[in-house]
Amino acid sequence: MTTALRDMIANPTTAELDLVARYGMQPADSRRERLFEAFSRTGLPHRRLEAWKWTDFKVALQGLDRPSTPPAQDPIPHAGALVFRFSSNGYFPPDHIPDGLNVFEKDEAQALGAAEDVPLGALAASLSGGKARPATLLLEVTSKELPRLHFQFSGEGEANFARVVVVVRSDMALTVSESHLGGAGLTSSVIEFGLQKGSTVNRAVYQRGTSEETIASTALVHLDADSHYTQTSLAFGAKVARLETRVTHQEPSAKATLNAAYLVGKDLHADFTTHVRHGANSCVTRQLTKGAVLNGGTGVFQGKFFVPRTAGQYTDADMQHKALLLEDGAVVFAKPELEIYADDVECAHGNTSGALDDDQLFYMRQRGLPEKTARALLTQAFVAEAFAEAGALEEVLRAEAEAWLAAV
Amino acid sequence: MRTMLKIENLTATVGEDDDAKTIINGLTLDVPKGEVHAIMGPNGAGKSTLSYVLTGRDGYEVTGGSATLNGEDILDMDPEERAAKGLFLSFQYPVEIPGVPVMTFVRAAMNSQRKARGEDEISAPDFIKQSREIGKALKLDAEMLKRSLNVGFSGGEKKRLEIYQMMMLEPNFLILDETDSGLDIDALKTVADGVNAMRSPDRGMLVITHYQRLLDHIQPDKVHVLSKGRIVATGGPELAHRLEKEGYEGILGEVA
Ligand SMILES: Nc1ncnc2c1ncn2[C@@H]1O[C@H](COP(=O)(O)OP(=O)(O)OP(=O)(O)O)[C@@H](O)[C@H]1O
Ligand SMILES: [Mg+2]
């Protein structure tokens, strides 16, 4: 078996061999096999793959379990939320599950659509489970009034993988938050949201890691008619961190709002990648990504809207990416893409990066603000726009961003 | 000694090394405490440049001469230091600051200045009370003060907001750069009332304008004509009337 597994990845790195070994320890399961195969096709994604040209996990990931540092603190409040914690130490669900939420902890892996497109998602789905952790955590929401669900993903010196599927039934509503906190060489999770007709989800994602960790979060979102999905992400990066979201508008008149901010310091790297398929008529997408990067930090934005000819008429979609290079030596890569085959659509995009505006800085200093304060205030205001739709968590995200800026 | 702002033989350039252009060219000017001086002059004469040089904007390099405020050399100070010393510029073109509400900004500015001077911060209730009074005097809508600074404000509203900030910050030397432009007749009166309320034996003002109209409301003690980077004529309020009638060509022809 070992040789066959070894052959799965061409020229494997040590970390990849570790992943193969870990796969070998999982119970035999044909779905799991298919998932790992999907991962093996590329192995750890690397710069020679177009979708990963700026975010190379193969080079970055030196050892899976490399303990590095403890996971980052979780700033998202646990009080009042239903917390599901996935750690390399185990799985810690809430004590009490209220009516309106059905929880299924599956020991078998579940198939993942588009597994080839999301190699690190396929990896997470194929390696999740063990240590009393479900291979797949399946949640069904049949209420509008659940407390916020919170998922925390971290390693305790050991690589950690998790797979979650959330189905929100027709006309129901859910608020959900996630923290991706590192704590190992690699932590990778994949979460899917199925929004049935007329349902709404408001999701907040927080990511923070160190320059010794790699972190991947993959989200697959399926939108039925008249559903409304709102996502607000805040990433501080890691050695490499990738937050990838793939949204499919599969029935008419769905709406997706994708907001994100990345604040990246020295030796860190944060990648936001999104893919939105307007596979039905009259769907709306609003996307705003704001970035601020310091010397030695790297921000990556890759956004794509895909509107096929056969569907996607009356699409209304807007993609904005704006980055601030706060110091010399800050790096931002951006690739906004519109691929449109339908003819009656409104799609727009904007992409800018640059330094803070001198006129604004001088105006503020003329009124007495020290330069550092003026810079912090401008950057804060610039970034905060991305948090406007985060509801109750807006203040938490804003405070995290402010604390980071104050320390700059 | 009553002299407040004292500028002597000032020269300054604008632009990067090779294309640096001398815009202020041997300018001498004294504004004593308690006085209001007007500066008039053709487009491009260097009026705004002078205001930027005095407030310390980047890109404007002083190549000679001096400028002091209350006997202190200001030219080596950072802009925020000059502000804390009480120097205020009402911008010809106020800058939009998205995402920073007017009141948040002014409170931060006020407290930064106080801190620099070793004073206590203003309390929130005191700040709000003061803001409400000044807002009312300037006929500014309370809602407006919660909006992002200058964003989406009309030209006239921006100018009124400059005066609001000035009255809130209580500077001791004011430079008004074409504060009258863009104001309707009623707003001009409101703004002038605000400026006049600031007149005091301890304050000096430099009022840059193209129009006699503003000077009807804010009576200057002296009027200077600035041309090609220097003061070429100085007189009483009657000089502004003459300029209005004869134009710059008449006056400048005479001095040249
Ligand atoms: N950053 C700059 N780079 C190059 N030239 C400049 C710059 N700023 C100002 N100037 C030039 O300096 C001269 C004086 O400009 P300034 O704005 O001071 O004139 P002003 O007297 O305020 O005119 P106005 O009445 O039109 O406001 C002009 O010729 C202008 O083009
Ligand atoms: Mg001017």
* Rounded distance between C-alpha atoms, residue A299 and residue B2, angstroms: 56
How many CB atoms lie under 10 A from the CB of residue B216?
13
A365–B78 C-beta distance less than 8 A: yes
**Residue B166's closest chain A neighbor by CA?**
A367
The whole-number pLDDT of residue A42 equals 92
| Among B43, B230, B248, residue to substitute to test ligand 1 (most atoms within 8 Å of Cβ) | B43
Q: Is residue B118 in a domain?
A: no
Q: What is the DSSP string of A140-167?
A: EE--S-PPPEEEEEE-SSS-EEEEEEEE
Sequential pLDDT tens for chain A (408 residues)? 444 665 778 889 999 999 999 999 988 889 999 999 999 999 999 999 999 999 999 999 988 876 667 899 999 999 999 999 999 999 999 999 999 999 999 999 999 988 999 999 999 999 999 888 999 999 999 999 999 999 999 999 999 999 999 999 999 999 999 999 999 999 999 999 999 999 999 999 999 999 999 999 999 999 999 999 999 999 999 999 999 999 999 999 999 999 999 999 999 999 999 999 999 999 999 999 999 999 999 999 999 999 999 899 999 999 999 999 999 999 999 999 999 999 999 999 999 999 999 999 999 999 999 999 999 999 999 999 999 999 999 999 999 999 999 888
Residue B19, in any domain of the structure: yes
**Do you know the residue count of chain A?**
408
Contact A270, A207 (CB under 8 A): yes
Instruction: Give the domain range for residue B59.
Output: 3-97+171-255
Concatenated DSSP letters for B25-83? EEEEEEEETT-EEEEE--TTSSHHHHHHHHHT-TTEEEEEEEEEETTEE-TTS-HHHHH
Residue B177 has pLDDT above 70, yes or no: yes
CB contact under 8 A, B165 and A367: yes
Q: In chain B, what is the greatest distance between 2 CA atoms, to the nearest angstrom?
A: 57
Contacts of B79 in chain A (CB under 8 A): 362, 365-366
Confirm whether B179 is domain-assigned: yes
Residue of A nearest to B169 (CA): A367
What pLDDT score does A68 carry? 64
- Is residue B77 within 8 angstroms of chain A, CB to CB? no
Whichever domain contains B11, its CATH number is 3.40.50.300
Which of B92, B105, B150, B174 to substitute to test the interface with A, most A CBs within 10 Å? B105
List residues in chain A touching B: CB distance below 8 A.
Answer: 357-360, 362-371, 373, 377-378, 380-382, 384-385
- Say if B159 falls within a structural domain: no
- CB distance B53 to ligand 1 below 6 Å: no
Domain count, chain B: 1
Are the beta carbons of B55 and A378 separated by less than 8 Å? Answer: no
Model confidence pLDDT, tens digit, residues A257-297: 999 999 999 999 999 999 999 999 999 999 999 999 999 99
Whether B201 contacts chain A with CB within 8 A: no
Q: Which ligand 1 atom lies nearest to the CA of residue B229?
A: 14
Q: What is the pLDDT of residue A297?
A: 98
Work out the pLDDT band at B1, boundaries 50, 70, 90: low
Asked if B119 reaches chain A (Cβ–Cβ under 8 Å), the answer is no
Predicted local confidence at residue A99, as pLDDT: 97
Report if residue B109 sits inside a domain: no
CB contact under 8 A, A369 and B55: no
Residue-level pLDDT at A301:
98
Total-model pTM: 0.89
Given this model, what pLDDT does residue A55 score? 98
- Looking at the predicted structure, is the pLDDT value of residue B17 above 80? no
A39 touches A123 (CB < 8 A): yes
Question: What pLDDT, on a 0 to 100 scale, did the predictor assign at position A2?
Answer: 47
B136 located within any domain = no
Task: Give the contacts of A185 (CB within 8 A, at least 6 positions apart).
Answer: A15, A61, A62, A63, A64, A65, A66, A68, A155, A159, A212, A213, A214
The finding on whether B47 has its CB within 6 A of some atom of ligand 1 is yes
* Domain spans, chain A: 2-356
Asked whether the beta carbons of residue A368 and residue B113 sit closer than 8 angstroms, the reply is yes
Residue among B59, B79, B165 minimizing CB distance to A365: B79
Cβ(B44) – ligand 1 distance below 6 Å: yes
Q: Which long-range contacts (CB under 8 A, 24 or more apart) does B73-79 make?
A: B78/A365, B78/A370, B78/A371, B79/A362, B79/A365, B79/A366, B79/B55
B209 CB less than 6 Å from ligand 1? no
CA atoms within 13 A on the CB side of B13: 10
In this structure, how many other beta carbons lie within 10 angstroms of the beta carbon of residue B233?
19
The residue of A366, A382, A387, A394 whose CB has the most chain B CBs within 10 angstroms, and thus the best one to mutate to test that interface, is A366
Read off the pLDDT of each residue in B34-50 and give the average, rounded to a whole number: 95
> Number of residue pairs across A and B with CB atoms under 8 Å?
77
B196 CA → ligand 1 middle, Å: 28
* B80–A365 C-beta distance less than 8 A: yes
Does B144 reside within a domain? Answer: no
What pLDDT sits at residue A5?
Answer: 60
The answer to whether B174 and B88 are in contact (CB under 8 A) is yes
Query: How far apart are alpha carbons A353 and A321 in whole angstroms?
Result: 8
Q: Is the CB of B37 under 6 A from ligand 1?
A: no
Q: Please state the rounded mean pLDDT for residues B122-129.
A: 95
Closest alpha carbon within chain B to A357: B97
pLDDT of amino acid A1: 44
Asked whether residue B147 is assigned to any structural domain, the reply reads: no
